Amino acid sequence: MTPRTGGNMTDITAPTASINPPAPTGVPGRPWRERWSGAAGRLPTARAALGALLVVGAAVITLSVAGNRASVPTSPYLVTTHAVRAGERIAPGDLAPAPLVLTPELAAAALASAAGTEGAVALRDLPAGSLVTVHDLVAAPDTGDTEVGAVQELTLPVPLDRAPASLLPGERVTILSTVDEPERTETRVAVADALVVEYGPRRDDLAAIGTAVLTLALDDARTAAEVAHLSRIGELTVIRSTRAVGAPWPSRVTLDETAGGSVTSVGAEDPPGASAGASAALDGAGAALVTVTDPGPGGGS
């Protein structure tokens, strides 16, 4: 049928074209809608392949990480088998080795052997499973068969110019206290062979420049009180005694200027008046508290 046109009108009775446009040049055969449907049908298969590839890659990475972890060497270090409170003594069974991987810094302070830990005192609360380091315990004082109470920790300010340049926890020190009076200077042993817990310079106050803080572990409260008293009335001198534990010390050394600068020493075990020209007034426990030195011929007492 020949279409009839009139002006701009088109005869709608004329045969219409196909709803499928001609295939693009060079692609014979299927209409474009059919080709698009086929491509869309293949998309899920490609996504599944990509997902499978990602899963396989993740599995390979996981196995590689697990293999690397398994190859990291572990070493046994002591941990607590149950909670240990600060001040409690370490008994057999309180500590046990456990394989751990530690940083070099932490491994340097961690305890790998229980040798010497029995009877040591915990310096802080240690929950069950805690890694035990040299900073967590203080060695039990050597008291022979004498039972001692809980360790007293005494902290003192000490002048840096009369103390060792460095002290490590576990070292031993002897503390001297020097009292200057108008006609006499007396130095007394505040404590001998005390155990060092902590030592370091003070930086919290400008007035404390040149001062260090020394923490000692003392086995009884009386000694702690005496050392604290002597630290307030005299100037302290810290002597490292780590390599000379047990060396004898005089209980005091007195310089008497009225007697021509004579020096008098009284041993710790000497009875009152055992040293010529000196006598000591004793308190109930036998500690020399007051020294009266003979000024010499023609002098007063």
CA-nearest of 136, 79, 89 to 112 is: 79
| pLDDT tens-digit readout, 252-266 | 777 765 555 555 555
pLDDT of 128: 94
224 neighbors 152 (Cβ within 8 angstroms): yes
* Cβ-defined contacts of 141-150 (< 8 Å, 24+): 141/195, 141/217, 141/219, 143/219, 148/219, 148/220, 149/219, 149/220, 149/221, 150/87, 150/121
Residue 274 and residue 107: Cα distance in Å, rounded?
54
For the chain, counts of helices (H) and of strands (E): 3, 15
pLDDT of 130: 94
| pLDDT tens-digit readout, 64-111 | 555 555 455 678 999 999 999 877 889 999 999 999 999 998 999 999
How many residues comprise the chain? 301
- Highest mean pLDDT (candidates 128-142, 143-157, 220-234): 220-234
Residue 156 and residue 213: Cα distance in Å, rounded?
6
- Highest mean pLDDT (candidates 56-60, 64-68, 200-204, 285-289): 200-204
Give the count of beta carbons closer than 10 Å to the beta carbon of residue 196. 21
pTM of the model: 0.42
* CATH code for the part of the protein at 74-140: 3.90.1210.10
- Which of 44-48, 159-163, 175-179 is the least confident region? 44-48
pLDDT of 129: 94
| pLDDT tens-digit readout, 25-75 | 555 555 545 554 444 445 456 666 666 666 666 665 665 555 555 455 678
DSSP-based three-state secondary structure for 184: strand
What does the domain layout of the chain look like in residue ranges?
A: 74-140
